[in-house]
Chains A and B, each alone.
Chain A
Amino acid sequence: MAQAKTQFGYRRHPDQDRSGQAPAEHAVVVVGAGPVGLSLAIDLAQRGQRVVLLDDADRIGEGSRAICFSKRSLEYWDRLGVGDRMVEKGVVWSVGKIFHGESQLYQFNLLPEEGHKRPAFINLQQYYAEAYLVDRIRELPEIDLRWRNKVLGLEQRNDSALLTIETPEGAYRLHAQYVIACDGARSSLRQMVGAEFAGQVFEDQFLIADVKMTAEFPTERWFWFDPPFHAGRSALLHKQPDDVWRIDLQLNRYADPTVEKKPENVRPRIARMLGHDKFDFEWISLYKFQCRRMDRFLHGRVIFAGDSAHQVSPFGARGANSGLEDAENLSWKLDRVLRGQSPASLLESYHVERSMAADENIRESTRSTDFMAPNSHQEARLRKAVLSLAKETEFGKRMVNGGRLSVPCSYESPLSSADAETWSSGPRPGCSLLDAPVRTPAGESAYLTDMFRKGGTGFALLGFGNDAAIELPGGVKDIRIGGEGGLIDPDGLVAKRYDAEPHTAYLLRPDGYVAARFRHPTKALVAAALSRAQGLN
């Protein structure tokens, strides 16, 4: 079985030695050092905010847990300075195959085009991702990471929250202007604010086994309906680093978890699948899942992100990836609010945008789950019809739902300025930026996402054409394609992906989403869109 990969020490903090004095005051306290809390803390620190990060454990969690990290997440981690490490260790993949019984129904490629810095997905055990994020935090003095600090109590004040925190040496209290709850699906902060967490519970149980073996399967996601080795149910096989393979087997709803989890009972199931038993177990887990979300992600001075705010079934890699999208959406907004650059109402757009994304993720993962585990005889009949039509029709193949994998959500957002001109393609306002290769005037090859993050991630205007750049409002970075001193578009892919004509410009938010786009930008137009995107009007 897997060991905890990294152990950390509890250290006493001077905040704990303030008996008789007022509790220490902090701008931001992030609760939960999982992928979401760690990434959010790094992002805020890179923006110059001091962050206290609390975790009730003293080590990185056991088990591989989340393993699929999306292109969007990798682009975010690039901005946090950890993308290369993740990709070097991770298993890169973009092809998925769906089987029914003995035969392959179809295959899909999640990134069929060239010219992107990052692949569609990497598979990487969550404990590696967390370890690399913790290493990055050690380089950032703005972050004060406190292990074995468990939040026991919360009192909301007008302009702060008062936390009571338990440590091995007793409890202490501190004030935070904002508390970010990244404390997972069983969030204790969610209980403390008294929020409901209602949704759909799925009765079918799934067995996860991570096994270590040397095998020659390709680095693809393989999904079976009704495979010969596991009749009547579904199965998934996926490669991770270190010769570890994720196997996911659907069990019935009446299976006894304690019996099914025993290695001696799991072994024959896996052996039947692989055709041999030359493997060792890394991790075994049995779970049921739920699709649900909080009604509101903002509760006074407590903001929820990741699994604490929303939970989905794992088919589609929409859990950790959507949590990371929460972090990138929240951090720049919170930074602006803490600096007094935008009103606190800007945070409402975090709720609007990310609850919309949560609804989409819940909808997609619920549909996948219902397809895998039909709820009625008639649902099973319709699925059978789809699977059999998929053998000879294209539309049938596309209806087979073995998990729809995470892609960034498009926001209908109060921060977006609607298109005023005609566009035939390109990311519309509310969509995330598209990558493409560029060459610097000095002749170096790079990607648009590199240019976006260079020198820190703020607002940027991506402009096309030969004209002199328009005068940009303060704090907006200029990314210019073409013209004197501009970036070179070697394959014409930037222009193509952005439906660009001479003068075209895209206003990008600090999280890489499009706020507005213009065929004929002027200083006034850009300034108006910028103020809207900053929540100033």
Chain B
Amino acid sequence: MALSTSSNFPRPDDAFRAIVEAHRGLSEEQSADFDAALVLILANHIGDIEVLKEAIVLARRRMVDGQQQQQQQQQQQ
């Protein structure tokens, strides 16, 4: 894995908080625009297509996991 998933911030709460606060006061639409710009800026900073692709796979897995959970819940019902 070229993508680092170990914790890289000495104070992870600060990083999470910075992103949360950046969205404060934005509409849904503005938030989505903001995220798009932030993703592009960070992707360029990483500058490594393999790392980016791994990050995309990891993020996409949320969608798959989410769907599976939904299905399981439906089956249990």
Contacts and interface: CB of A to CB of B under 8 A. Distances in A.
Contacts of B32: 378, 381
Interface string A379-390: 001101110110
Contacts of A399: 40
A396 B40 contact: yes
Q: Which of B33, B40, B41 has the most CB of A within 10 A?
A: B40
B33 A389 contact: no
Nearest to B43: A395
B4 to A, nearest CB: 21
Contacts of B40: 382, 385-386, 389, 396, 399
Chain B, interface size category, equals: under 10
A385 B44 contact: no
A396 B41 CA distance: 9
Secondary structure dominating the interface of A: helix
A384 B44 contact: no
Interface residues of A, number: 12
A260 to B, nearest CB: 32
A396 B44 CA distance: 9
Nearest to B41: A389
A100 to B, nearest CB: 15
Interface string B27-49: 00000110011001100100000
Contacts of A378: 32, 36
Contacts of B37: 385, 388-389
Contacts of A385: 33, 36-37, 40
Q: Which of B33, B36, B37, B44 has the most CB of A within 10 A?
A: B36
Given A381-B32, A388-B37, A396-B40, 10 more contacts: A378-B32, A378-B36, A381-B33, A381-B36, A382-B40, A384-B33, A385-B33, A385-B40, A389-B41, A393-B41
Interface of A: 378, 381-382, 384-386, 388-389, 393, 395-396, 399
Report, nearest first, the 4 A-B pairs whose CB atoms are least far apart: A385-B36, A385-B37, A395-B44, A381-B36
